[in-house]
Amino acid sequence: MSLSSTVLKKINLSSTVLKKMSLSSTVLKKLSLGSTVLKKMSLSSTVLKKISLSSTVLKKLSLSSTVLKKMSLSSTVLKKLSLGSTVLKKMSLSSTVLKKMSLSSTVLKKLSLSSTVLKKLSLSSTVLKKLSLSSTVLKKLSLGSTVLKKLNLSSTVLKKLSLGSTVLKKMSLSSTVLKKMSLSSTVLKKLSLSSTVLKKMSLGSTVLKKMSLSSTVLKKLSLGSTVLKKMSLSSTVLKKLSLSSTVLKKLSLGSTVLKKLSLSSTVLKKMSLGSTV
């Protein structure tokens, strides 16, 4: 029959009729149906897939989130939509739909999504790793400590975050998360973390040895004698610390602690302990 689009529109075919007719994709494209017609027709996802609409047509349709959910479109179709950030915000899509979209990092960057949308995505750690998001995007996420704990992110991802000291303080991260970060001495110096944060890290002697922290950082820690006792630092660590006599005096180590430490005579001399001690 090769009906013209005007005639086909005039017919005002329902979705049931379209399914029954099993029209070819060429005919369906020829229909150039408007968004109002499609919504009215409540076409099934099978019909929409068959239509194989171009991205321009799909954009023109300006489908609402309710329609998209109803359509249960495949990820391929959703990608084809190439929705802009403005559309995504406007649509207020559910997290399930957004997850289904399986957006790549390039798309996320291109979309310049707002932090509210990104939070709504509730991305799991597996997705974040897969996306290999840039640090700029991750910072934009402004993840809270609760989210970080929940995400159980790998140390590689946490390092990539390159969190500033202000963020770390604000986040009040738990010691478990901070330990997981396995921060190097260079990072700690760069972060210029406050003593409160460093104390919160409750670093063990093994960690301190591994980190090979500079004396400046260790001084900043201003560790009390109770902490040192708890840490049971070996004499090798104390030597490595090369602490000044003023710092050692400040530590106010008891004789029991000194004995326990089994310090060498060289270290004790360096301490230049007065008769009072």
Q: At 274, is the secondary structure helix, strand, or coil?
A: coil
CB-based contact 211:188 (threshold 8 Å):
yes
Q: Rounded to an integer, what distance in angstroms lies between the CA atom of residue 78 and that of residue 101?
A: 6
**pLDDT of the residue at 177:** 54
**pLDDT of the residue at 275:** 34
**pLDDT of the residue at 230:** 47
Q: Rounded to an integer, what distance in angstroms lies between the CA atom of residue 249 and that of residue 243?
A: 10
Q: Which residues contact 14 (CB under 8 A, 6 or more apart)?
A: 41
Please list the pLDDT of the chain residue by residue as tens digits (277 residues): 444 445 444 445 455 454 444 444 545 555 555 444 544 454 555 555 555 444 444 444 545 555 555 554 555 555 555 555 445 544 445 555 555 555 554 555 544 455 555 555 555 545 555 554 555 555 555 555 555 555 555 555 555 555 554 545 455 555 555 555 555 555 554 544 555 555 555 454 444 444 445 545 554 554 444 444 444 455 555 555 545 555 455 454 555 555 555 455 555 555 544 333 3
Q: Residue 277 corresponds to which tokens in the numbers above? A: 């001690």
Domain boundaries, the chain: 1-63, 224-277
CB-based contact 55:82 (threshold 8 Å):
yes
**pLDDT of the residue at 276:** 36
Q: Residue 59 corresponds to which tokens in the numbers above? A: 């954009």
**pLDDT of the residue at 35:** 47
Amino acid found at 216? T
Angle at 102 between CA 100 and CA 105, to 5 degrees: 155
CB-based contact 247:222 (threshold 8 Å):
no
CB atoms within 10 A of CB 258: 15
Q: Residue 44 corresponds to which tokens in the numbers above? A: 């099934």
The single residue listed with the structure tokens 């349709």 is: 61
